[in-house]
Amino acid sequence: MTDNPGPPPVGISSCLLGEQVRYDGGHRYDLLINTQLADLFEFQPCCPEVAIGLGVPREPIQLVHTGQGIRIRGVNNPNIDVTRKLEDYGNRIAREFADICGYIFKARSPSCGIEGVTTWTEQGKQAKPDGTGAFAAVLIKVHPDLPVTDEIRLQDPGLREQFIADVFACYNSQHS
């Protein structure tokens, strides 16, 4: 145990920090995260789509209901299927980020959304907004007690305060 271990490490979707890693070459810089929360946490950024070799810009991906369950496929080219790559990468990051005390995901993302991600049929029709991103699902499964949130939930003061408290509780239990 060190006297000053530093701020709690928190994983985060890179685009929320302003990194231009999205499919369209853009980002989703979030002011609240980059001001208020950046003062509390040590962010460990990650973009699973870039990490598995998808370029910037790139073919957009989506969650598709198939006979083999939900798959993450290309929007314009359904022959692109990155489900396994995202799951494998999620398992790798779950090991590499073993000391993180929380994770802030990009909402509604087919790789990072924790809930409410739009799903599609194989025929290209919108199904329900009931999916979970493949990368996020693996991290949550491997670390079920890890505090997780997204930039939309963080807009709610009560949910934000609860996430912060949960991160610090996790951090304190690691350093006690």
40-49, 51-60, 111-120, 121-130: segment of lowest average pLDDT: 121-130
Provide the pLDDT confidence category of residue 92 given band limits of 50, 70 and 90.
very high
Predicted pLDDT at 152: 97
> Both tokens of residue 39?
């003062």
Predicted pLDDT at 128: 85
Predicted confidence (pLDDT) at residue 130 exceeds the cutoff of 80: yes
pLDDT tens string 134-167? 999 999 999 999 999 999 999 999 999 999 999 9
pLDDT, mean of residues 96-120: 96
Predicted pLDDT at 175: 86
Percent of the residues in the chain that have a pLDDT greater than 90, as a whole number: 91
Predicted pLDDT at 111: 97
How much is the mean pLDDT over the chain?
A: 95
Q: Where are the domains of the chain?
A: 9-174
- DSSP assignment of the chain equals --S---SPEEEEEGGGGT---STTS-----HHIIIIITTT-EEEEE-HHHHTT--SS---EEEEEETTEEEEEESS-TT-B-HHHHHHHHHHHHHHTTT---EEEPTT-TTT-SS-B-EE-TTS-B--S-B--HHHHHHHHHSTTS-EEETTGGGSHHHHHHHHHHHHHHHHHHT-
- Rounded Cα distance between 90 and 29, Å, is 23
Predicted confidence (pLDDT) at residue 3 exceeds the cutoff of 90: no
pTM (predicted TM-score): 0.94
